[in-house]
Structure 1
């Protein structure tokens, strides 16, 4: 490798590191009261709960059930009767954008921020 190649690689790593640190800072400044857990079943919103609340939800379907627990500013899939148990093994999530998915039961759990102010990443 030439000297310029190393400089380019170092420059790219520095820029990537700055983006990562900025994103982590932005996430740490989010108000916990504006974060929600969205539970979707077959793509339709089933329930939306504040991340700061404590609640246990049982989603029952013809082909099975899932028990989702919101607690300690995060969420986890406590129990499911699907064969692979990937959703249960995902564990506790507590960051915006994190997801738990149960493919056999078509259940999607995601932590989202409140979008009431109408701003997106581009307009901020």
Structure 2
């Protein structure tokens, strides 16, 4: 549980602008509030960190840290259809209470920008699923 007095938490979204369900999370005493630790300043730092990723192992490490520290599950996988570009890789965050709509869009966009800049990471993602035929 997050101690709101010791750590800053994310400000509320304007009413009707988001579907994060923050209010129900704040009312639930057993709810996982770690996602609220991702303030706007911390979100910018996270986006910069994602965009600075240099390898597939580094990307997995960042995703593991997001899950451990914030409870955010980042899923990156090739689409079921043919993958011709980075757009063919599905990047999404698992829905959870308190996860702002803006964050659900900004983190996958940062991962996509990273993959655009470093195609080797995209190939490693494909190879991890054996789509390049590396594991006979």
TM-score by length of 1: 0.28
| Structure richer in helix, relative to its length | 2
| Structure richer in strand, relative to its length | 1
Q: Larger Rg: 1 or 2?
A: 1
Ranked by relative contact order (alpha carbons within 8 Å, sequence separation 6 or more), the top structure is: 2
